[in-house]
A and B are shown apart, each in its own frame.
Chain A
Amino acid sequence: MSHSDALIQELEARAKKMTDHCLTQFCTFNQGHVGGTMSVMEIVTALYFHHIKFDPKNPDWPERDRVIMSKAHCCEAIYAALVELGMYSEEQLGTYYCYASPFQGHADRWCTPGIDFSGGSLGQGISFANGLALAEKLKIKLNPPSREDTFLPRYIVRYNPKFRTYVIMGDGELHEGQVWEGLMFASKFKLDNLIAIVDYNKWSLDGPTNDIMPIEPLADKFKAFGWTVYEVDGHDIRQLLDVLDLVHKQYGDNKPKAIIAHTVKGRGVSNWEELHMHLGRGDEMKKGVAEGRAKYGNVE
């Protein structure tokens, strides 16, 4: 499609910068959810730096697109994006995990302007996103209409601004029963303004996701629940931009959209990839951060 090479290169550079910001966060306590954060980096980059409507100067802008990080243990990637957008300083990255920091261990809407959902308890993001997407579609009938409102046609007002809702889920998270309740709901209410992105990095805490509890055939399951499904390489910015554009244009077809993004856990750092590392700590963390620093940018 129509995305220029220059744009792709710019976003790839941005993803590297974000990775570097995440490494800074991991260094704070030599701990962090490295696996899922590294796998979701390009997805977050494509959303925040090209695709979504978002005003860093006005994070509560009613018309902003909502991004719900349901796998909120990987909120480091979102924090990195908010820093890159200028909402927070690079110094604040060093307060990750700290008391009274805007960068809490799991995303917290109350503490961090720019965050739309306090995630962390897995499986809940899809339902919250359902609520947002439904709110975008609901129109309010003033009943009874007040005198000021009588000029409105049939007393129906569009109370709510137009926006899209994106929910980022992990593959392990799909084990939660609530997710499937949520998928049914989105389909029933024809939430074509809702886009679910699965960061399918194939590994969860105890081992391979499909050994722990098989989720395959995943695309067929989404389809059977009434969703339109696309599969992309979740580290290929061009593919991500293309598919995001495609689903954007399909608004009005009454179907929720799922993008299954195939990714690699701990991507970009060799020992994290080899170990499929979930929560990084200890020597493996130090080793990985050193390699990442050399690869992604500013060496301390």
Chain B
Amino acid sequence: MATWNKYVSIGAPAMTGKGIGKAIKQAFIDNPKAIAILEDMQFPEIEWFTDNMFDRMIECGIAEQNATGVAAGLAAEGFVPVTYNFLFASMGRAYNQIRQSILVDRFNVKFLAREGIWGEVGVSHATIEGWGSLRNLPNMVLINPADSVEAEKATTAMMQYIGPCAVKMEMSPNPFTIFTDDYQFDIGKAYSLRDGKDATIIATGYMVTEAIKAVDILEKEGLDVGVLNMSTLKPLDEEAIIAAAARTGAIVTAENSSDINGLGDAVACCLCENLPTPLVKVGIEDEFGQSGLITSERDELMDHFALSADDIAVSVREVLKKKAKFAK
């Protein structure tokens, strides 16, 4: 089995939502100005909130555009509003409201965006292009935590950060937790799970799990592959990307959302400008989502979109061929 850096310890399965719920609860206890903006899509730890924070829950109904403006107004008066919804609804439906009412003035609004290509929901709810579409919005911070431990720490960091910030709440069930409890999360800092010599997989969110599995597959072939967890898509940790490229000379990016304007494009652009390096993107190619079955043996959508550990391994082999070609 592969060896991992300090804060990595493969543990029991847990949804990222669990970590987010724990952190958001604590943030509301700590900060009396935190306000929950509901869009008829409940809220993490809804039962606890209903019992303890009923006067700090603003139910806006299925009207995300107004809810976003209300959040901006509350933030302008010093409150810390937190919206919670599917990414397509809170951030897709209200894209211009987020831009104009929140980001232009850097109002301190927080977004928890449920998103992923999981299972049954189908094309409308699996907004695979949504996350990347937020990347070119100035003043926005985008965090996609890899597991429940990082989700908890990222949510705490989001609530402490002053300014607009979104945490993506992956809906795919994580088969294991990745980080130890003392893992230190900082906004805008990537963490190297394993340095590697031959190639580096730069992964984000749920795909860190698949990257870890891919490392084991490749190790059996005698390859020493690193994994860099790029949980903050914006601001991007360019230093860590360049260091990884300098060390291994071959990069594979892995994201379970559109590969247009997402992590892959961000990394590719960074390397083209700073240290041109052979690179292969794993992500969803210019296509909408759909429904699919998840069982313990098989995830139909991960197979359909070619996002599994096996697919990442294929891409690593491919990038190594490129690396060899470049070396000549």
Assess the A141–B55 pair: CB atoms within 8 A.
Answer: yes
Residue interface mask A137-162, B partner, CB < 8 A = 1: 01011111000000000000001100
Assess the B74–A126 pair: CB atoms within 8 A.
Answer: no
For A, the interface residue count at a CB cutoff of 8 angstroms equals 36
Q: Which residues of chain A have C-beta atoms less than 8 A from B75's C-beta? A: 131
B303 on the A face (CB < 8 A): no
Question: Which of B4-12, B62-70, B222-230 sits within the interface?
Answer: B62-70
B105 on the A face (CB < 8 A): yes
Assess the B72–A127 pair: CB atoms within 8 A.
Answer: yes
Assess the B76–A143 pair: CB atoms within 8 A.
Answer: no
A105 on the B face (CB < 8 A): no
B104 on the A face (CB < 8 A): yes
From A108, A127, A136, A140, B69 is in contact (CB under 8 Å) with A127
From B61, B73, B96, A131 is in contact (CB under 8 Å) with B73
Assess the A124–B69 pair: CB atoms within 8 A.
Answer: yes
Assess the A126–B100 pair: CB atoms within 8 A.
Answer: no
Kindly state the interface size class of chain B when it binds its partner: 35 or more
Assess the A134–B70 pair: CB atoms within 8 A.
Answer: yes
A185 on the B face (CB < 8 A): yes
Assess the A110–B66 pair: CB atoms within 8 A.
Answer: no
Question: Which of B28-36, B252-260, B289-297 sits within the interface?
Answer: B28-36
Assess the A124–B78 pair: CB atoms within 8 A.
Answer: no
A222 on the B face (CB < 8 A): no
Q: Which residues of chain A have C-beta atoms less than 8 A from B97's C-beta? A: 121, 124, 127, 178
Assess the B73–A177 pair: CB atoms within 8 A.
Answer: no
- Complex CA–CA separation, A126 to B58 (angstroms): 16
Q: A128-B72, A178-B69 are in contact. Are A135 and B96 (CB under 8 A)?
A: no
Assess the A182–B33 pair: CB atoms within 8 A.
Answer: no
A132 on the B face (CB < 8 A): yes
Chain B nearest CB, measured from A5 CB (Å)? 38
Residue interface mask A176-201, B partner, CB < 8 A = 1: 01100110110001000000000000
A/B interface sample: 26 pairs, CB < 8 A: A110-B104, A118-B104, A118-B105, A124-B96, A127-B67, A128-B73, A130-B69, A130-B70, A131-B71, A131-B74, A131-B81, A132-B73, A134-B58, A135-B74, A135-B77, A136-B77, A138-B35, A138-B74, A144-B29, A159-B32, A159-B78, A160-B78, A177-B65, A178-B63, A178-B65, A185-B70
In the A-B complex, the 7 residue pairs with the closest CB atoms: A131-B73, A127-B69, A135-B77, A181-B66, A181-B63, A121-B100, A131-B70
Seen from chain A, the residues whose Cβ lies within 8 Å of a Cβ on chain B are 108-110, 116, 118-121, 123-124, 126-136, 138, 140-144, 159-160, 177-178, 181-182, 184-185, 189
